[in-house]
Structure 1
Amino acid sequence: MGGMRWVTFDCYGTLVDWRHGIRTSAELVAPGQGARLLEAYNRHEHAVEAESPAMRYRDVLAESLRRACAEEQVRLNPDDAGVLAETLPYWPVFPEVGAELSALREAGWRLALLTNCDRDLVAGTRRRLPVPFDAVVTAEDAGAYKPADAHFELFRSTYEPATWVHVAQSYFHDMVPAHRLGLPRVWINRLGERPADAQVVQGVLPDLRGLLAAVGTALSPGAPA
């Protein structure tokens, strides 16, 4: 597949509503606490991944939820800690994903996922994605979690893309390493965040609508932020 044009994506948060998934899944085991636990979970996940880069993502989910519950003083039954991994394959896909990814495929782009997830978990999500993907690189494959470079390096060495644009919602996990590696990139800024460094981002969209044009712009010299 060397010499082909690729758009790579983060999956959860970019294509799949990660925040909805965490919040509603936490509600199943701690009714009324989903919103609090979502924000606490978000504060702990990266630390868990950084401490144990080889940890399976289903175990990252469980440990991060345990720490979130401890921080928020919410009781969590030991056998409920796996709820996020159990529900992850059912987390909803954002509504514009099908049309925008279809437009990329029709324009001749190959699509890949670079995800901080396990192979078995992302396989469940792929059943719900409305457009097929040509390649997937997981944390299990890379042996590390983004924002480390391992996903990107493994994708480059395996598929040898002639043209490559990375698209993702997370500034920290995806835009920063893509910038560090000199990749054209599009930031899907679903949360209306302000970047710590404007140099890190190129095309910025509030969701995936208009992605085909943004991918083209990201490839142009001096593409605007």
Structure 2
Amino acid sequence: MAEVRWVTFDCFGTLVDWRRGISGGLELLFPGRGWELLEIYIRVEAVVQAEQPSMRYRDVMAETVRRVADEAGLELVTDNASVLGATIAYWPVFADVGPALAGLRAAGWRLALLTNCDRDIIGETQRRLGVHIDAVVTSEHVGSYKPSHNHFTQFAESFGATRENWVHAAQSYFHDIQPAHSLGIPSVWVNRLGQADDPSIAHAVVPDLIDLVRTVERVSTG
């Protein structure tokens, strides 16, 4: 019987255009300021997650929006803090995702998501990926947010994944590539933003998912 082989993904940022989703939501509240406020949001959200690791992601987003508005000196209508939770199901999926995931399945890989969000959010997003996902580990389930190791250890314990049959692919160096390196999990850094962090801690670095099947196969046998 063939060994089960897994590719796990971060979802938002890797498969779904998280930056466009966040900036678009902030733009709805503060026209002309979306991309500028995104940079504050990215920094502040990590702080909120570290302070309150058991908080649901919808609430993390709302609290982050409140802090962003306060830091930027902008007036926020109370109900508007929920804008990201209300729009996240419609954030755009990157065009290379469907072919890459379908190619991995055709090559015999099982697919899983290790995601910093809630069960209901990933359920809404999952159906837009166009390919069956075999397993999901959420922050709501493990009670913490990456870069905590809990997503990875929970997945390994639940599905018997090891460094011999598992590759993790993700865009976020901070949330995914660094913890995967610490745990000895083979990783593919999907460096969509052309960041200059040390690439040597990943087993491969790619700019997108176009050649992901070949890259994963190379990493898994290397």
Cα distance, 1:161 vs structure 2: 2.4
For the Cα contact (< 8 Å) 1:36–1:72, is it kept in 2? no
Q: Aligned ranges for residues 1-225 of structure 1 at < 5 Å?
A: 3-161=3-161, 163-195=165-197, 197-221=198-222
Structure 1: how far apart are the matches of 2:127 and 2:101? 15
Cα distance, 1:87 vs structure 2: 0.3
Amino acid at match of 2:219: A
SS at match of 1:32: coil
Runs of at least 5 residues in structure 2 that lack an aligned partner in the other structure: none
Structure 1: how far apart are the matches of 2:81 and 2:127? 24
For the Cα contact (< 8 Å) 1:30–1:75, is it kept in 2? no
For the Cα contact (< 8 Å) 1:3–1:160, is it kept in 2? no
Structure 2: how far apart are the matches of 1:164 and 1:97? 19
Structure 1 runs, 4 residues or longer, greater than 6 Å off? none
Structure 2: how far apart are the matches of 1:206 and 1:103? 17
Cα distance, 1:220 vs structure 2: 3.5
Structure 1: how far apart are the matches of 2:127 and 2:190? 23
Amino acid at match of 1:82: S
Structure 2: how far apart are the matches of 1:144 and 1:48? 11
Amino acid at match of 1:44: V
SS at match of 2:195: coil
Cα distance, 1:3 vs structure 2: 4.7
Cα distance, 1:198 vs structure 2: 3.6
Structure 2: how far apart are the matches of 1:18 and 1:161? 27
Structure 1: how far apart are the matches of 2:56 and 2:90? 19
Instruction: Give the TM-score normalised by the residue count of structure 1.
Output: 0.94
Structure 1: how far apart are the matches of 2:78 and 2:32? 19
Structure 2: how far apart are the matches of 1:60 and 1:194? 28
Cα distance, 1:30 vs structure 2: 1.4
Runs of at least 5 residues in structure 1 that lack an aligned partner in the other structure: none
Amino acid at match of 2:61: L
SS at match of 1:219: helix
Structure 2: how far apart are the matches of 1:4 and 1:202? 20
Structure 2: how far apart are the matches of 1:66 and 1:219? 43
For the Cα contact (< 8 Å) 2:199–2:205, is it kept in 1? no
Identity of aligned residues (%): 54
For the Cα contact (< 8 Å) 2:186–2:202, is it kept in 1? no
Cα distance, 1:76 vs structure 2: 1.1
SS at match of 1:117: coil
Instruction: Give the TM-score normalised by the residue count of structure 2.
Output: 0.96
Aligned residues: 219
Structure 2: how far apart are the matches of 1:85 and 1:20? 14
